[in-house]
Chains A and B, each alone.
Chain A
Amino acid sequence: MPCCDEMTLHQRLSQRAQLLAELRAFFAARGVIEVQPSGLGRAASMDPGLSSLAVPEAGPSGEVRYLQTSPESAMKQWLAAGSGDLYYLGPAWRGGEFGRWHAAEFTLLEWYRIGWDHRDLMGEVAELVREVAARLAASSLPAPSLPEAALPAATLARYPVEHLTYRQAFVEYAGVDPLAATPEALDSALQRHGVELFGVEGSLDSPGAAEGVAAGTGGVGGDLPGRDADEQAQRQRDERLDLLLSHVVAPQLGRGALTFVEAFPASQAALARLEPGAETNEETGASTAGCAAPSATARRFELFIDGLEIANGYHELTDAGAQRERFSREQAWRRASGLPVYPLDEALLSALEERGLPDCAGVALGVDRLLAQLIGVDSVAEARGEGGGDG
């Protein structure tokens, strides 16, 4: 079902096609190779915040395959095998995500730069956004509906770049230090900003809390073994931070600027390496891994433009042991929370262990969201030329 009348549809699809061509031209000029890993993968993302769509009987002997939430695993296996710099431009899939800015299938741009760190890569992300914005603005595509109006792309191409740490962003826009604040201080910040989570007392507990984590012991504040209790406390803390970020902080980020937020809490490192000094626990494999000092941060960044998250990148974790530890921890949390539990991604882990991931930085960018902002539409569905989003 098309989104709009004929003229507008033609224009929108043309702009989309131009954006895809400009993105490819950007990387061609820089010697980054386009790859097309299979959308149906053996492994599913372990991230408890992501839900993979399973395709039954998609494998050769009728086994389940998973629509990939990102091409990260396949691309890292190529990088470890010596491919050189790579990019992917194509679909990615995430279950249970429906809304104005979310869809089960969306267009992802993901790329890796060998020998770069997160700061180098933030520079390239900004160049890319400004360059494609300028080219779209300069294109001679007719704007039948608004012949006189310039595309938002023209303005966006001139946005200044702003760098904030995660901590600075929270202090500035939520009035609370995300790394140092007590859970009570985070709760009162939520209250101050009118964010009310539905449920009874203790509703901020993660799903696992109700039935007890892993060991199956009591509920909130029960006698969990040290590691699980730490893990649970950490998850609860991250949930409060996620609430503040998505409800209070993010909508204020990137207003008239390309705003990069970096130095995420170590507990939200995902696949980023930690800042040196914070890695001790992980390297020693101590039982408190990942629950490093609360002030520890990871080399992870996100780009926000006019209140919308556009990209998420890392100075990639290359330590195979730490990677296995993070996957195992996420797997245990999935089990405890009643989420689908997947086997560890051994293909990726053995590539990291045997050949080693070269020192690199990688980033994933939401193409539909970027296009929506460049042409001034209000949902990813419209940016894809489809019917309006049904929130």
Chain B
Amino acid sequence: MASYSTNEFKGGLKLMLDGDPYSIIENEFVKPGKGQAFNRVKLRNLKTNRVVEKTFKSGESVEAADVVETDLQYLYNDGEFWYFMDPTTFEQKAAPQRAVGDAANWIKEQDVCTVVLWNDEPLQVEAPNFADLKVVETDPGVRGDTSGGGSKPAKLETGATVRVPLFIEEGEVLRIDTRKGEYVSRSKE
């Protein structure tokens, strides 16, 4: 089984701790003048997203997590699972809602997403940073008001609701920053 020694620790390295996969956020080597050396490590639990701090005795080895990132195309969902396909092998993967999380607000069929696989199963789905989505429901636009003075809610084709400027009309396609969940502009496409 692959493992990493503490002197290989660095940001992004994936480890198994207590049966869960973790990713190293920060690694600090600490050592009193005389005595035992330690690695003080901040890690993210890739299943729960919780950040924890743990200390390792320097020189210790820790089991590596079989975690890879891959680009998969979103096909559809059945309310329980979101289905993705590897565009080269056509192999399909089913991601549970827990793995899709907020990405569900922003992805639509055929979007290519970064999917983190652990032991070949989807662990985390990341939406593309920007998504172009159609407005399916909003109050009528206020013609000519492009000053950006006010805003109103708009429901998108994925079901998510974002704040948009008053001049936006139903049927328009908007560019959304998925990391912030915010309107950026009208789509140029």
Contacts and interface: CB of A to CB of B under 8 A. Distances in A.
Nearest to B30: A246
Interface residues of A, number: 33
Contacts of B29: 97-102, 391
Contacts of B30: 99, 246-247
9 contacts: A47-B34, A99-B30, A102-B31, A196-B55, A238-B35, A243-B38, A250-B32, A309-B33, A391-B28
Interface in A230-246: 238-239, 241-243, 245-246
Contact of B34 (A194, A196, A247, A270): A270
Contact of A195 (B35, B37, B55): B55
Contacts, number: 80
B26 interface: yes
B37 A49 contact: yes
Given A312-B34, A391-B26, 17 more contacts: A97-B29, A97-B37, A98-B7, A99-B28, A102-B31, A194-B53, A197-B56, A198-B17, A198-B55, A238-B35, A243-B36, A247-B30, A247-B40, A268-B35, A302-B33, A390-B10, A391-B27
A96 interface: yes
B159 interface: no
A196 B29 CA distance: 15
Given A49-B37, A242-B36, A243-B38, A97 B57 contact: no
Interface stretch (B58-66, B104-112, B131-139): B58-66
- Scoring A198, A207, A246, A247 by chain B CB atoms within 10 A of each residue's CB, the highest score goes to A198
Contacts of B54: 196-198
B26 A49 contact: no
Nearest to A270: B34
Interface range, B side? 20 to 34
A102 B31 CA distance: 9
A-B residue pairs, 8 tightest by C-beta: A99-B29, A242-B35, A312-B33, A246-B30, A242-B36, A198-B56, A49-B35, A198-B54
Contacts of A47: 34
Contacts of A238: 35-36
A196 B35 contact: no
Say whether chain B's binding surface is mostly helix, strand, loop, or mixed.
strand
Contact of B31 (A97, A207, A270): A97
A241 B36 CA distance: 10
Interface string A74-114: 00000000000000000000001111111000000000000
A268 B7 CA distance: 25
Given A246-B31, A247-B30, A391-B26, A49 B55 contact: no
Nearest to B55: A197
B50 to A, nearest CB: 13
Nearest to A261: B33
Contact of A309 (B26, B32, B37, B57): B32
A347 B110 CA distance: 75
B28 A100 contact: yes
Contacts of B36: 49, 238-239, 242-243
Nearest to A300: B34
Given A198-B54, A243-B55, A96 B33 contact: no
Contacts of A239: 35-36
A209 to B, nearest CB: 12
A368 to B, nearest CB: 15
B36 to A, nearest CB: 5
Contacts of A199: 60
Interface in B34-89: 34-38, 40, 52-60, 62
B57 to A, nearest CB: 7
A176 B176 CA distance: 53
A98 B8 CA distance: 10
Contact of A242 (B26, B27, B32, B60): B32
A243 B55 CA distance: 9
Nearest to A235: B36
A247 B55 contact: yes
Interface string B147-188: 000000000000000000000000000000000000000000
Contacts of A100: 28-29
B34 A96 contact: no
Contacts of B57: 197-198, 207
Contacts of B7: 96, 98
A302 B57 CA distance: 23
A5 to B, nearest CB: 25
